[in-house]
Amino acid sequence: RWQKIFMIPLWSKMAVFWNKMFLTIIVLLIVLFLDAVREVRKYSAVHVNEKAANVNTNAFDHIQMKLFRSQRNLYLSGFSLFLWLVLRRTVTLLTQLAKGMASRAALETQVNDATEAARKYMAENERLQEALSEKESSKKKESAEATDEKLKKELEHLKAELQKTSNALNKANNEVTMVKKQSEGLKREYDHLMKEYEGLQVGGSGLLYEHDV
């Protein structure tokens, strides 16, 4: 509420002449205070002298009245000077307090803004890290899938090669078996021919022997 009151444009216009007015009034009060001190001293000395001289009553009352007025002026000017200095000090402290409160509010606002920005940056950083980790995991998954696919293709290729080798081996075994059978058949034929040849040799030898005889 007081901040709204002191934000009125009238005070900003008066602030230009405020210090000058303060100093002027202080100088005026000092002058009045010194004049009152001089008057009090003056009429105090005259009062003592007149009292000692036993002058008439009217002159003595007039001197007492002057002394009373000078003392009254002394008290008023002194008290006004004291209150004016206290008022100036109070205004200075209030101004410093208002500036400190304003700077504190500005600092609190800056701290809150910085804290909020830091929270946003931290949340954004966490989201980026999560996205990066998900991307890395997806890349790893894709690479693993590609590796599995490659291994599957290699396994199928090896299976096909193994099947070809197995077929070739079976074919070779069949050919070896057929060759063995053929060789056994040829051996039997050879044995049969050898037997026939021996029989022919035996028969030929008998005919020659009969002819010689």
Looking at residue 162, its pLDDT comes to 83
Q: Is the dihedral of CA 201, 204, 210, 212 positive or negative?
A: negative
pLDDT tens-digit profile of 61-95? Answer: 777 888 888 888 889 988 988 998 898 888 888 88
Looking at residue 213, its pLDDT comes to 47
Instruction: Report residue 192 as tokens.
Output: 């049969």
pLDDT tens-digit profile of 17-26? Answer: 777 888 888 8
Contacts of 118 (CB under 8 A, 6+ apart): none
Q: What radius of gyration, in Å, describes the C-alpha atoms of the chain?
A: 68
**Interatomic CA distance for residues 208 and 35, integer angstroms:** 195
**Interatomic CA distance for residues 66 and 60, integer angstroms:** 10
**Interatomic CA distance for residues 122 and 199, integer angstroms:** 112
Residue 29 buriedness (CB in 10 A; 0-12 / 13-18 / 19+):
buried
Task: Indicate the pTM of the whole model.
Answer: 0.45
Decide if 26 contacts 81 (C-beta within 8 A). yes
Virtual torsion, Cα 48, 50, 56, 61, nearest 10 deg? -50
Q: How many helices (H) and strands (E) does the chain have?
A: 3, 0
> Which residues of the chain have a pLDDT value below 50?
207-209, 211-213
Note the Cα 58 to chain centre separation in Å.
Answer: 91
Query: By percentage, how much of the chain surpasses pLDDT 90?
Result: 3
The type of residue at 43 is: Y
Residue 146 buriedness (CB in 10 A; 0-12 / 13-18 / 19+):
exposed
